[in-house]
Chain A
Amino acid sequence: MDIQVLDDNPLYKGETYRLKFRFSKQYPIEAPEVVFVQDPTHPIPLHPHVYSNGYICLDLLDRAGWSPVQNVESVCMSLQSMLTGNSKGERPPGDEEFVRRNKLRPRDVTWLFHDNTV
């Protein structure tokens, strides 16, 4: 699934990002696993909640934040709004360390949702 940020946010203008959805058998009771994937034409967006390996820190995708009424469309929309509301062109703190050390899949990572501003 490709998404674009349609407004004029200079960070993401003209870019297209590719998302990978992985659905468990319990979907939609359980959240799908959603990550950005990188290839020559699709970079990973620069965002304080997106790690450089494509992992996304978003409460919607966590077990606690997920709700069965969500779907692919609503997830994409949330991600778009997450990107467009952002003005900081940076990676999350500890990005390198996390990417290097982490072997867990996104759903097994314990996310801490501390920042409600973005």
Chain B
Amino acid sequence: MDTTFEIPDPSDWLSTALPEIAPLESSLRCQVCKDFFDTPMMTSCSHTFCSLCIRKCLSSDGKCPACRSGDQASKLRQNWAVQEAVDAFTASRKTMMNMARRQSTQDTLNCPAEDEIQGRRGIKRKRDIGMSRDDEGADRRQTRSQSRRNPQHTSIPIGSGEPITIPDSEDSDYTPEPAMPRSSESTNTPDMLVPCPICGKRMKEEYVFSHLDNCTAPTDTHGALTTNTASMSRPTKNQPANTVARTLNSPRDLALQPIAQLNYSLLKDSAFRTKLSELGIPNWGPRQLLIRRHTEWVNIYNANCDSSRPRLKKDLLRELDVWERTQGGQSLRGTAGSNSDVSKKDFDKDVWRDKNKSQFESLVADARERAMKAKTSREALDKEKDGHDALDSRAVIADSQSPEEMEDTDAQRSPSYPENRNLNAHSAETSGLEQNHLSLMEETSQAEGDSIKKPPLLDLPHEPVADVEQTETSI
């Protein structure tokens, strides 16, 4: 009920009247992310994980997380049966939980009438869920009712006859979950009519198929056609397969093709960057970050291709952006240290600082000296530009000086860094060089203007850095 901020967990069931559901729920959850399966995929060793989870695992060490046998992302296959089970379970979980909780708070002597009421209530709620969840699921409703009506009716009297065994009988009734929500819909419809999946007109079940042959009101041509063929070719039974056929068709028709993985070691830097921009993802940053970003993107994108409910590319890009800010950005810092033995994952500030203290100190001294020189030779404009370069390289050195300083420079840089790039890409598309040249001129004239007053050392490098790359990208 008021479970808005509650995170569902299999252990929720343990305190209710249906503790047996707990293992059922755990089996519907991915072992990697511990959440309900999202686009479950089966490995060649027959283990099932979320598409994104298993892709991440495979791209990080190429082994099945459960049994450690080697596998490849290209060998993954969808496990639609599990998807169906998860969908049905999550749709009815709340209702089941409410019932189970209420049951446990009641005394063991609960009267059958009450039980029946509860059952009805549950059914109604489920119907609401089913309705809102997919409006074009009409074909399922209609056919479900034929095949499943009887068990639904019989189960309640059995339960009410023996009050003590009710939890068990309900349990066994619930385990084949997919049947419940849809079956209840048409049984509870008072007029026993079902809507046409194409035009939505309500009619008796027997007439639906003949009506479908000459129904002329396709509201959504694509969806209607696929449902139509699906329900025609698979009458009454095999309903899960039916819905799968429908959901399966749509992504394939939209030609969502998985992206191929790249052999990064064979790709030159520039070719790699072009590749990334072709894919429509950011292509800035050091090579290592590019690789990580591309891997992540391939994972996200291909997982989306597997999904029965694919999202828009816009959403995927947002997800990549989140990754960039939470995990990807780290690699930037790691590689900014640009020492080959500092691999991103294992970087440990304290140890690194202790170990390289003397080097850092000499670098700092060195950089200060050079900064002084740069300051003295800033009169002429061209010299001033040199100064920028020097400053720029200085900033890079500063990155490697000590972890604290690293963070400082990062903090200064990171907010403006991606923005600059975005701006670059944008302006390159729209107004080309013009704008930049303007900004460059502005910049230089400003610098000329206040050549007496020194600008802050770490502030200035942004613009020249951006400009250099601007010219690269726009050419």
Q: Which of B27-79 contact A (CB under 8 A)?
A: 31-34, 53, 56-57, 60, 63, 65-66, 68
Interface presence of A107 (CB below 8 A): yes
Which stretch of A35-43, A45-53, A64-72 is in the interface? A64-72
In angstroms, how far is the closest chain A Cβ from the Cβ of B303? Answer: 14
Please state if A107 and B346 are interface contacts (CB–CB under 8 Å). Answer: yes
Of the residues A25, A68, A107, contact of B326 by C-beta under 8 Å: A25
Number of contacting residues on A, CB 8 A?
14
Find the residue from A25, A29, A105 having the highest chain B CB count within 10 A. A29
Interface presence of B354 (CB below 8 A): yes
Please state if A104 and B348 are interface contacts (CB–CB under 8 Å). Answer: yes
Interface presence of B350 (CB below 8 A): yes
Q: A-B pairs with CB below 8 Å: how many?
A: 37
Please state if A68 and B53 are interface contacts (CB–CB under 8 Å). Answer: yes
In angstroms, how far is the closest chain B Cβ from the Cβ of A102? Answer: 10
Contact A69/B65 with A103-B351, A103-B354, A105-B348 known, Cβ cut-off 8 Å: yes
Please give me the residue from chain B that is nearest to A102 by CB atom: B351
A29–B65 Cα distance when bound, in Å, is 9
The proximity string for A residues 90-108 relative to B, scoring 1 for CB distances below 8 Å and 0 otherwise, is 0000000000000111011
Interface presence of A116 (CB below 8 A): no
A28–B30 Cα distance when bound, in Å, is 12
Residues of A within 8 A of B33 (CB): 28
A residues with CB within 8 A of B? 25-26, 28-30, 67-69, 71, 103-105, 107-108
Q: Is the interface of B mostly helix, strand, loop or mixed?
A: helix
Please state if B66 and A29 are interface contacts (CB–CB under 8 Å). Answer: no
Residues of A within 8 A of B351 (CB): 103-105, 108
Q: Is the interface of A mostly helix, strand, loop or mixed?
A: loop
In angstroms, how far is the closest chain A Cβ from the Cβ of B147? Answer: 37
Contact A30/B350 with A25-B330, A69-B32 known, Cβ cut-off 8 Å: no
Please state if A69 and B330 are interface contacts (CB–CB under 8 Å). Answer: no
Please state if A28 and B354 are interface contacts (CB–CB under 8 Å). Answer: no
Residues of B within 8 A of A71 (CB): 34
Q: A67-B68, A104-B348 are in contact. List 20 more A-B contacts (CB 8 A).
A: A25-B326, A25-B330, A26-B60, A26-B345, A29-B56, A29-B57, A30-B345, A67-B63, A67-B65, A67-B66, A68-B31, A68-B32, A69-B32, A103-B350, A104-B351, A105-B348, A105-B351, A107-B346, A108-B346, A108-B351
